[in-house]
Amino acid sequence: MTTAIPANPDSPILVTGATGKQGGATARRLLAGGWSVRALVRDLAAPAAVALTAAGAQLVRGDFDDPASLPPALDGAAAMFGIPPVAFGPAGPETDLEVARGRVLIDAAAAAGIEQVVFSTVASTSAPSRGSEGKALIEEYLRDHIALPTLLRPVRFMTNYLGVGVIGIDGISYGVHRHFFPPHEPMQIIALEDIAEFTALAFADPARFAGRTLELAGDEPTPVEAAAAITEATGIPIRYEQFTDGEAAALSPQLAETKKHWQAGHRWHADIETLRVIHPGLRTLTDWLTESGAAAIRAHLTTS
């Protein structure tokens, strides 16, 4: 585990999206490693924000749609962790708004004199997909405006098994996990804790990680293998079903397009063996289930 901290530990690292999945995991990991953390939140009274305060983070209110709120949040910060300022409308991703939000954040960091930014976007595939355009433009803008940028591109989160998305995919319902992935082909996944760990590694050694882009995954079971692993770990029978093309189209045009993109052979391509050299503790699905996932899934399924 990385324990090195910045030369001036009193200068905080600003973590955006701190009440969300990646930001929350990163804030907790940095606090555990001895960093001073300033958490950017929209609601200071939100339960997740209050929990961060209890863990030792300094809260500051800020919103990408309120540019004037960002300079005070960045004042005196040593570095920044950012996550995609996602924007969705009735028709799907709103790329222009997403890019505008990302640029506002990067501009504020540059104006504050911050040289190191670790930014987490999304895993790439062999061909661009709908929804990735905004993140690609934000990545390019980051490289052009920040001296020591590090880009993390995580694949699907292991915690996705804990809930059902708004359009009915992911999670586990009545003993079934449903998605568009082919049932017997490898599917890369990553633990949130490992995204946080790579972030900590980058902050501990800026020179080593400056300018690098890391596609992040920790394991690649097939969906059927993943369901079997969850069954064994939880003691609850789980099976996998793939959405048909018609079911995907009925749920969402974007989901149908993503399924076709996947069927055409475009896949995530994280090099897990190389990542494990950088971070030997990189979690497999079984590791995550043993550590926390099985208990969380069991609790979710017995209360939902």
The domain ranges of the chain are 13-303
Tokens of 265: 């052979």
The closest alpha carbon to 149, from 111, 112, 109, belongs to: 109
Enumerate the H helices of 146-218 as residue ranges.
192-204, 206-209
**How far, in Å, CA of 149 to CA of 156, rounded?**
23
Q: Do 82 and 115 touch, CB atoms closer than 8 A?
A: no
DSSP state of 290: I
**How far, in Å, CA of 14 to CA of 36, rounded?**
9
Pairing of strands 213-216, 148-154: parallel
**Tens-digit pLDDT string for the chain (304 aa):** 444 444 455 799 999 999 999 999 999 999 999 999 999 999 999 999 999 999 999 999 999 999 999 999 999 999 999 997 777 666 666 889 999 999 999 999 999 999 999 999 999 987 766 667 889 999 999 999 999 999 999 999 999 999 764 456 788 988 999 999 999 999 999 999 999 999 999 999 999 999 999 999 999 999 999 999 999 999 999 999 999 999 888 887 878 888 888 888 889 999 999 999 999 999 999 999 999 999 999 998 887 6
DSSP state of 63: B
Q: How far is CA 182 from the centre of its chain?
A: 23
290-294 long-range contacts, CB within 8 A, separation 24+: 290/233, 293/158, 293/159, 293/161, 293/233, 294/230, 294/233, 294/234
Which whole-number Å values give the CA distances from 286 to 191, 196, 301, in the listed order?
11, 19, 18
Q: Do 268 and 217 touch, CB atoms closer than 8 A?
A: yes
**How far, in Å, CA of 29 to CA of 15, rounded?**
11
| pLDDT at res. 1 | 45
CATH 3.40.50.300 fits 13-303, yes or no: no
* pTM for this model (two decimals): 0.93
> Residue 299: which residues within 8 A CB-CB, separation 6 or more?
none
Which whole-number Å values give the CA distances from 301 to 140, 156, 165, 224, 285, in the listed order?
41, 20, 15, 19, 18
User: What one-letter code names the amino acid at 50?
Assistant: V
Helix axes of 95-111 and 133-145: crossing angle, nearest 10 degrees: 20
